Amino acid sequence: MKINQHYLELEKSYLFTMISKKVAQFQQQHPEVDIIRLGIGDVTLPLCPAVVEALENASAEMGVKETFHGYGPEQGYDFLKEKIAGYYAEKSVSLAPDEIFISDGAKSDLGNILDLFDADNTVLIPDPVYPVYVDTNIMAGRKVVFANADASNGFLPLPDENTDADIIYICSPNNPTGAVYDHAGLKAWVDYAKKRDAVILFDAAYESFVADPALPRSIYEIEGAKEVAIEFCSFSKTAGFTGTRCGYTIVPEALVCGGVGLNGLWLRRQTTKFNGVPYIIQKGAAAVFSEEGRRQTLANIDYYRENARILADTLDRLGIRYTGGKNSPYIWMECPNGMKSWEFFDYLLENAGVVGTPGAGFGTNGEGYFRLTAFNDHENTEKAAKRIEKLLSK
């Protein structure tokens, strides 16, 4: 018996596990400190009433023989896929229900999708980026090359014709930098992928935070993207489903690699390895698209946007440079006084009781940066902003 040696090449802990351990340790040593968490991007507002009502009704259905549901379709119920197709139609993207696969969240499918690709492929990943892309490819022993995202390109790298890649990750609005590609930027990536017969894995988990109507919320807003891109999205940040678990992955019929349609492969993979998202949860997710659900979830997003504004205004007053916070729930700030990311993490925790995420945890180019999230409540965000301002204006 041999273990997968590639696991030994990983950092010892997943970034957010490491942070929560550090914070728990600090709290134990300093029980008097009222810690405010602006670290992991976990929501704080409860599920909206329209979703709760749908969950309750679906639970009641499950207790009645006539409306009980056993195994559902692995790729999701049509009632939810049709709602998602309707949502994309508003972005002028037409999707067939069979191109939509309901998942238990973007993170799982971003890892699972790699089942479809040979270990020999070269993977291009922006640096800094959500650590799941890198870690899942290390686990599979794939060669990873990086696209530098830094202040010089606004943290939005464009393709370098000299770099060869088979699988390309793009996250927009970006986690962690909050930077968002415009149509021209995404088109450059689509063109590059076409030229190389590469596949783009597009993470749209934060699309609902895009406020600027000129910015794309789906890669399929770019002509021809269906031939090269898989899109991952989630109800986690849009509708507070971090603990409820539901998302969706779009694998267009037009996406063909080496003569093989990826939609069919993904269907084969899902029907074999996944038994679907619970009926109750899918009913809750469908309610996100009802008139009430839309209004209520948008109000929650606006609530987080206000938090982002509070944090951004604080950094503006301090003269600290940052990206994000406008079309994204993340604010990516430069650590003050040339501090390193983990140094600033400790400094902020110890002197202000505020937790953020060290930029270095997202890649080499993240060193010297720090990520704050807008997902806490107003009261805590205001309190944290005041503490940060007091500490850093010293």
Residues 376 and 384 sit within 8 Å (Cβ to Cβ): yes
Closest separation in Å from C-beta 183 to ligand MLT: 25
- For residue 322, with 0-12 CB atoms within 10 Å meaning exposed, 13-18 middle and 19 or more buried, which class applies? buried
- The footprint of ligand MLT on residues 113-142 (CB under 6 A) is 130
The single residue among 10, 23, 35, 40 that binds ligand MLT, judged by CB under 6 A, is: 40
Minimal CB distance to ligand MLT: which residue? 41
What's the helix, strand, coil split of the chain in %, to 5?
A: 50, 15, 35
Closest separation in Å from C-beta 209 to ligand MLT: 13
The residues, ordered by sequence, that sit 6+ positions from 329 with a Cβ below 8 Å of its Cβ are 41, 178, 206, 209, 237, 304, 305, 307, 308, 373, 374, 375
| Region binding ligand MLT by CB under 6 A among candidate stretches 40-48, 64-72, 120-128, 321-329 | 40-48
Is position 325 an interface residue for ligand MLT (rule: CB under 6 A)?
A: no
Closest separation in Å from C-beta 296 to ligand MLT: 21
Residues 219 and 202 sit within 8 Å (Cβ to Cβ): yes
Is position 175 an interface residue for ligand MLT (rule: CB under 6 A)?
A: yes
Residues 88 and 76 sit within 8 Å (Cβ to Cβ): no
- Looking at residue 128, the DSSP 8-state letter turns out to be S
Is position 107 an interface residue for ligand MLT (rule: CB under 6 A)?
A: yes
The single residue among 36, 41, 155, 363 that binds ligand MLT, judged by CB under 6 A, is: 41
| Region binding ligand MLT by CB under 6 A among candidate stretches 38-46, 111-119, 150-158, 317-325 | 38-46
Closest separation in Å from C-beta 19 to ligand MLT: 9
The residue (of 40 and 320) whose beta carbon lies closer to ligand MLT is 40
> How many residues touch ligand MLT (CB under 6 A)?
6
Is position 81 an interface residue for ligand MLT (rule: CB under 6 A)?
A: no
The residue (of 175 and 327) whose beta carbon lies closer to ligand MLT is 175
The residue (of 177 and 263) whose beta carbon lies closer to ligand MLT is 177
**What would the two tokens of residue 308 be?**
């982002």
Count the alpha carbons within 13 Å of 125 in the hemisphere toward its beta carbon.
25
Is position 177 an interface residue for ligand MLT (rule: CB under 6 A)?
A: no
Long-range pairs for 150-155: beta carbons < 8 A, 24 or more residues apart:
150/365, 151/321, 154/179, 154/323, 155/128, 155/179, 155/323, 155/332
Produce one character per residue of 144-174: b if its CB has 16 or more CB atoms within 10 Å, e if not: bebbebbeeeebbbebeeeeebbbbbbbbbb
Closest separation in Å from C-beta 260 to ligand MLT: 30
Interaction site with ligand MLT (CB under 6 A): 40-42, 107, 130, 175
